[in-house]
Structure 1
Amino acid sequence: MPSLRTEQRQSQQITQELRQVFRIEQAKLLEMPEETFLQLVVELEKTPFFIRLCQKEKLIRYQRVPRTDISSHYFQLREDTTADEGSLDVETLLQSRARIVRLVERLGLEKFKRYFLFAESGITPEEIAEECGLSISEVREINDLIDDFSILSEFYHPSALSLEVIRYSKIASVERQGDRFVIGYLSAPFARGRYLIDYGSFEELRTKGVFTEAEVSEAKQLFKRLESINSCKDTVGQILQNIIDKQGLYLECGDPKTLLPFSQKELAEKIGLAPSSVSRAINRKSLETPWGTEVPLKYFFPRPKQFRKELIKQLLETEEELSSDDAIKTRLRDKFGVAISRRSVADLRKELGFPVSRSKKKHVLHESEGGE
């Protein structure tokens, strides 16, 4: 018989292997194109077993994340958008779904969010139909419309940054609600938040024989998949929230000079992830600013050197008496709290093309005398 120590080692090895599998699964999800990831989520949520566990056993529900919402642009279709080959064009969409869009407009934003985008846990189509004065088929058609928007969100809200070499996915917009910024997701799966799984109730139902052995196995596989999706959503959400917190001044005014130095490594340490996970999560994704400009997520992570160079440039263009690199170094520390060596100041100043002496009056006088 194997010893207790041997069993413990085997158990630890299995746990490590499972963690490795989970990390690989998470990495695959983070590297997926946005449209592929959203399609995976939508198709999973349409499976009969997922619907059963949500509506009948009530083992799965959504948990919204604070400071997030659906984007105000969610249903603003762009008729000037050119569809990709094989994609549904906007004109056809409007013609085929006009009746459903009118139903949504008749419902109003509050009911639409409450009963469709952020439906309460376990609520059935029959209950939604009764509350909203709709038929069950109309409820299903509205849900299908949401699913189509989710899968094809890149078509409805295409990235203006997409080039031949790099294709970006615009995943959200930064919007003001009251006195704060919130993340406005452009797809329902992200806006709904993460899945909450009631493992305790699942075990109770399993013990009572509610599920067959095959269903127990299917449920466990489903839960693992949902947790992987949760991890992916959490990673993207934490990155966006930290961007808003760190670069709030830039999001207020739009001045690139106000961008603070922010490395992916720093963010990874803050949210407890590997830098590679952060890199995968921000790769080829973009965000719409409050003033409507779209920027890659990487833009919010300026390198310290570029940040310092911008500060030195600002000082040299606005300060009258900075006659030496030591003076610039001292001013950087006193005004911005940035401490760097005199040699670094000199190197950055040279890259900017400024002369050693920054006494503007002397510089102007020298030019004037030379011209006489």
Structure 2
Amino acid sequence: MRKLEIQWEQALRARQEFKLIMRLEQASLLEMPEEEFNRLTTEVESSPLFRKLYRKDGIIHYQRYPKTDFSPRFYQLNEEIAAGTDTLDIDSLLSSKGDVIRLIKKIGLDNFKRYFLYPEPRVSIEEVAQECDLELAEVERIDSLINEFSIMSEFYNPSVLSSEHGIHYSKVASIERGAEGFIISYLSPSYARGRYSIDYARFEELRQSGAITKAEVKEIRQLFKKLELINRRKDTVTRILQGIVEKQAPYFESGNGKSVLPFSQKELAERIGLAPSSISRAISGKSLEMPWGEEKA
């Protein structure tokens, strides 16, 4: 009997320690700079394992957030480069992307969104090439541009506040007028794609059938843990922005500073069901572009 009690206590302690580790990792991820976070998501999505679970097995797919989209600036490749990038060959960089932008325009916005920006699971690269009338190398070039744009979104969409105030800000989105109200127009494809939806039932089905080896199971579960942590950051940032858009809609509509409503972090936390500490970590160093083009932190 005592042995069972000890085992139960050990299991309980292990679960408590795991929850603590998850909370610490979540807090760390919330504080991670945007460039580092975007690099992390791109590395995860570029891994052979993620691609297999996404394109072949259909275990992972993207779930977009309501009233969000991807900034149309992607198609323009904003040339207002942030200060401090003078060591890069800017003209060469932008001109080399022009060919890829022309490929995107060739296949059309609908196909670009369907097969590249918000790609459907279990669709191979070969099928994408066939549907879009592209060479495999051209498909890979478009994918590479999206990955680069995710990592270097601050390069292509620099914050003017950073140079004005001497504090580094990351402009994460612009507020745009949509057909049914204001939408959050993300500057990074990673955020625009939304959260990862993981089909755990499908995973168990493949595991039990032997389609996934024991060696792969451990690696897959580690990947799932990363994806869930990334989801928590994306969820937090999006819920904060959605809360701001809902509360300050009169201000976004009029552009009149007198229309700004009092809105504390505590009220925002209560409104969207998050801890104030999570709000503080998530919004630190981030800025938004207003519908009329002004940037605010």
TM superposition score normalised by structure 1: 0.76
Instruction: Give the secondary structure class of the aligned counterpart of 1:58.
Output: coil
Indicate the residue corresponding to 1:124 in structure 2: 124
Give structure 2 stretches of 5+ with no counterpart: none
Indicate the residue corresponding to 1:294 in structure 2: 295
1:222 equivalent in alignment to 2:223? yes
Cα distance in 2 for partners of 1:122, 1:34 equals 29
Cα distance in 1 for partners of 2:53, 2:179 equals 37
Cα distance in 1 for partners of 2:46, 2:125 equals 13
Cα distance in 1 for partners of 2:236, 2:118 equals 21
Trace 1:1-372 onto structure 2 (pairs within 5 A): 2-81=2-81, 84-85=84-85, 88-163=88-163, 165-296=166-297
User: Does the 8 A contact of 1:176 with 1:182 survive in 2?
Assistant: yes
Instruction: Give the secondary structure class of the aligned counterpart of 1:182.
Output: strand
Instruction: Give the secondary structure class of the aligned counterpart of 2:161.
Output: coil
Deviation at 1:5, TM superposition (A): 4.2
> Aligned pairs, how many?
296
**Structure 1 residue runs of 4 or more that deviate by more than 6 Å after TM superposition:** none
Cα distance in 2 for partners of 1:90, 1:110 equals 29
The alpha-carbon distance between structure 1 residues 87 and 130, as it changes in their structure 2 partners (threshold 3 A), is: farther
Deviation at 1:107, TM superposition (A): 1.5
Cα distance in 1 for partners of 2:278, 2:140 equals 37
Deviations 1:280-318 (A, max 9, x none): 10001000010010000xxxxxxxxxxxxxxxxxxxxxx
Deviation at 1:100, TM superposition (A): 1.4
Which amino acid letter does the alignment assign opposite residue 74 of structure 1? F
Which amino acid letter does the alignment assign opposite residue 207 of structure 2? R
More displaced, 69-78 or 236-245? 69-78
User: Does the 8 A contact of 1:70 with 1:185 survive in 2?
Assistant: yes
Instruction: Give the secondary structure class of the aligned counterpart of 1:74.
Output: helix
Deviation at 1:25, TM superposition (A): 1.2
Deviations 1:198-222 (A, max 9, x none): 1111112111222222211100100
Which amino acid letter does the alignment assign opposite residue 43 of structure 2? E
Deviations 1:6-65 (A, max 9, x none): 443333322221111111111111111111100110011111111111111111110111
The alpha-carbon distance between structure 1 residues 255 and 266, as it changes in their structure 2 partners (threshold 3 A), is: same
The alpha-carbon distance between structure 1 residues 133 and 239, as it changes in their structure 2 partners (threshold 3 A), is: same
Cα distance in 1 for partners of 2:122, 2:88 equals 32
Larger radius of gyration: 1
Cα distance in 1 for partners of 2:175, 2:2 equals 58
The alpha-carbon distance between structure 1 residues 19 and 87, as it changes in their structure 2 partners (threshold 3 A), is: farther
Instruction: Give the secondary structure class of the aligned counterpart of 2:81.
Output: coil
Question: Between the two proteins, what is the percent identity of the paired residues?
Answer: 53
Higher relative contact order (CA 8 A, sep 6+): 2
Cα distance in 2 for partners of 1:73, 1:143 equals 17
The alpha-carbon distance between structure 1 residues 3 and 80, as it changes in their structure 2 partners (threshold 3 A), is: closer
Deviation at 1:2, TM superposition (A): 4.3
Give structure 1 stretches of 5+ with no counterpart: 297-372
Cα distance in 2 for partners of 1:269, 1:157 equals 32
User: Does the 8 A contact of 1:83 with 1:89 survive in 2?
Assistant: no
RMSD: 1.7
